[in-house]
Structure 1
């Protein structure tokens, strides 16, 4: 940290590969320190570890040369870390860096090959890595941001705004906060480091996020259960009615059959079928659902999943006609489709049905919009060059079926900013699953990419809009 140096001097930072190699031992040590903290921000988990992770990151930001660091406190939300480095010149652009320091719960610890909060060395495909809960999602990306700041000794060639969230995994009021304070989040580009590569060694920019909506459908046919021998065959079975309704949501190929849900051809990169089968754990000999490319089925088309079912369990089943059944549906839809339009299409489809003449009660739940990035601006040109420099090959474009609600909030706060989604994770890292891991080669390459990006963006973006 050198606060007394003249901001008009040329920024620090040499060759990105050399700088990353120099920094990696310290970055690995700090990643292990951070990953050892069980910063789970879910109800029922202690707040102290979350605050400990917060305090460690504040310390690391100060050590990296970030003089202005503050805490944003919102109701029922873990603290958000906000840091800022002013642009070195009036026409330099400003880049917002986002990651989160909270993690998913570890789940069933008997499924882990080592304790989830004891970072443990692993080797995969000849590459060294570390295993721990949250080490890929999202603590490696937090450390990658710090790596870039260290490479430039806290004096990057762009202005920087830092947002490290503390309750992303559970969700919080911060999702919708940025538009209420747009000046704070004003920037020319943002790097959302909560994603990563399609596969290790394949530099990847995520350009789309599917939206999400929930719908509950229920059926009541009798006042109470009735003997299946005496009444079955005439008394309407609520579970049978519900199953018949659910069967209309897909056609014979497994494609979504609800009118009004948008589906388009996917022109970017995608998994191979073998990769997807392995990642999803599809049983040997079983087919995949749907037709068309995997990109269409996973990213640019809809998916409807039955995520919950209320009905008698097999273990406690009685010989009786079921009077009541209920299902919860999760809908994923095209990044550009309006969430209320998509949800209304599913609600309308179900509400129009009368299986065996029985009406359904359909209740819409939460919705979340998708996002599709514009990819033609100077930040994307700089990012493509930076990822090529870091990994030695051209970047691929993918989307994701998951959602990051805060992306839309940040995009509303800074509507002219380019949004870049890349990072140190990869699709094989077991995020949210047992034995989550990050490869150190991916972390190193992400640090290289971050350094190369800010340098290229500063050189090629022209005057910054937010500075």
Structure 2
């Protein structure tokens, strides 16, 4: 039996020894094109879920391992398959819920990939492939850490463990809230680890303590009953593209800062982060200026942003001398911590209607909402995970905000109000999640897996 004093070292050794196996299993998962968006084969998402469930069963520590689906509220559809596993706590120990997602983003333009997106490829200390970082690596950090705990302590450890590996996070988590409600008893936990964020850099771990919220919607702009000849009527008749461009330009001021009344900002200090670092991590070339005001991290973490992410309009190939009668755009807004997503959307819609030029008719559809999140950093689990980070990485972790959103965390808070939520991750700033050539930094993966294994050991030694 492992002594109390040697337990952490035994767990660490087991975690490090298990890295090659975890990476091999990660490669298996990356080969499955588990894209949950409409128009892609849902059978691949099912195959991914079954493969992940098989890895969980192979651990031999869970009382139940299932692939389940929940209804999408307001529809007759079921959400994508998710993996759920449970193991009850014993002898007064806490229960930890480990979350990640096994679905991935679409590939985009495959010609931009340097290696096939669903063929895991090693180059220069990184593993390339869609989902290699976001978020199949999160799944393997969880499973690899559990493997290490079992190897070091045996399968009769006392920590309660639940797994929830979602299958539609990239596609909007449409059944997430219903899934939580359906499985609340099984997923109830004292600590929740969401392994779907990033780190300060490739060598410095981070605990994500704030996340911007988001709202996304489609807006249709209409100015004409039908298309008209641009030579015959241009100059007197406003076409929909003209109205759309004019309207969208009112969303930002001359500095590129959001100019919508009613969107709030959060006043909070940020670490040092210079323009050179922004250019390196974001791919911003010299000569193109950053936008917004204030410190760079305040713009990314604590202020709103608005992005036009899609447009339906005549393509360049189909361009003709025609006044377009209508144009549709997709608008995605990030919301500062402290503001409800629904309130932010209402402010943006009111702005659009107030600034619609030439009497253009506006229609708003497909609204999605995700509230921001702020972590309570006073809990014992936060102290434990910071210690685990320091021990695994050899440097102290950074508390950081994230400009992106994880909308379902608000659902976790609502369903499990007493749980301490830890938002961690395996990504580094050069991982290019959602982009061509997504990759995982292998040393970061190793450290993240070791850190989580050490966290599990700490929780197994803790009386609830």
Fold shared by both chains (TM-score > 0.5)? yes
CA deviations 1:268-316 (Å, max 9, x no partner) are 4475422322333323301111111222222211111122334444554
Which residue pairs with 1:145 in the alignment? Answer: 142
CA deviations 1:408-435 (Å, max 9, x no partner) are 2222221111111112222211222222
Stretches of structure 1 lacking an aligned partner (at least 5 in a row): none
In the alignment, structure 1 residue 407 sits paired with structure 2 residue 409: yes
State how far apart, in whole Å, the 1-side matches of 2:42 and 2:242 are.
45
State how far apart, in whole Å, the 2-side matches of 1:157 and 1:270 are.
42
Of 128, 133, 148, which aligns to 1:131? 128
Which residue pairs with 2:162 in the alignment? Answer: 161
Structure 1 contact 130–438 (Cα < 8 Å) conserved: yes
In the alignment, structure 1 residue 45 sits paired with structure 2 residue 40: yes
5 Å-filtered alignment, 1:115-126, equals 115-123=116-124
Instruction: State the Cα distance separating 1:229 from its structure 2 match.
Output: 4.8
State how far apart, in whole Å, the 1-side matches of 2:269 and 2:158 are.
34
Instruction: State the Cα distance separating 1:328 from its structure 2 match.
Output: 2.8
Question: Structure 2 length as normaliser, TM-score?
Answer: 0.88
Of 204, 208, 211, which aligns to 1:209? 211
Which residue pairs with 1:33 in the alignment? Answer: 28
In the alignment, structure 1 residue 24 sits paired with structure 2 residue 28: no
SS state at 1:398 partner: strand
Per mean C-alpha deviation after superposition, the further-off stretch among 239-248 and 198-207 is 239-248
SS state at 1:429 partner: coil
Structure 1 contact 270–398 (Cα < 8 Å) conserved: no
- Root-mean-square deviation over aligned CA pairs: 2.8
State how far apart, in whole Å, the 1-side matches of 2:453 and 2:65 are.
24
Change (3 A) 1:224 1:63: closer
State how far apart, in whole Å, the 1-side matches of 2:432 and 2:399 are.
21
SS state at 1:195 partner: strand
Instruction: State the Cα distance separating 1:337 from its structure 2 match.
Output: 0.9
Which residue pairs with 2:75 in the alignment? Answer: none
The number of equivalent residue pairs is 451
Structure 1 contact 178–412 (Cα < 8 Å) conserved: no
SS state at 1:42 partner: coil
SS state at 1:97 partner: strand
Which residue pairs with 1:305 in the alignment? Answer: 307
Structure 1 contact 347–362 (Cα < 8 Å) conserved: no
State how far apart, in whole Å, the 1-side matches of 2:380 and 2:185 are.
22
Which residue pairs with 1:441 in the alignment? Answer: 443
Of 285, 289, 292, which aligns to 1:290? 292
CA deviations 1:391-421 (Å, max 9, x no partner) are 1112112222322233222222211111111
5 Å-filtered alignment, 1:238-249, equals 238-249=240-251
State how far apart, in whole Å, the 1-side matches of 2:244 and 2:158 are.
60
Which residue pairs with 1:108 in the alignment? Answer: 109
Per mean C-alpha deviation after superposition, the further-off stretch among 62-71 and 436-445 is 62-71
Change (3 A) 1:241 1:14: same
Per mean C-alpha deviation after superposition, the further-off stretch among 379-388 and 44-53 is 44-53
Instruction: State the Cα distance separating 1:152 from its structure 2 match.
Output: 1.7
Structure 1 contact 429–436 (Cα < 8 Å) conserved: yes
5 Å-filtered alignment, 1:248-259, equals 248-259=250-261
Change (3 A) 1:108 1:375: same
SS state at 1:130 partner: strand
Structure 2 contact 105–170 (Cα < 8 Å) conserved: yes
State how far apart, in whole Å, the 1-side matches of 2:149 and 2:420 are.
23
Which residue pairs with 2:74 in the alignment? Answer: none
Which residue pairs with 2:69 in the alignment? Answer: 73
SS state at 1:307 partner: strand
Change (3 A) 1:323 1:151: closer
Structure 1 contact 102–165 (Cα < 8 Å) conserved: yes
Instruction: State the Cα distance separating 1:133 from its structure 2 match.
Output: 1.7
Structure 1 contact 215–362 (Cα < 8 Å) conserved: no
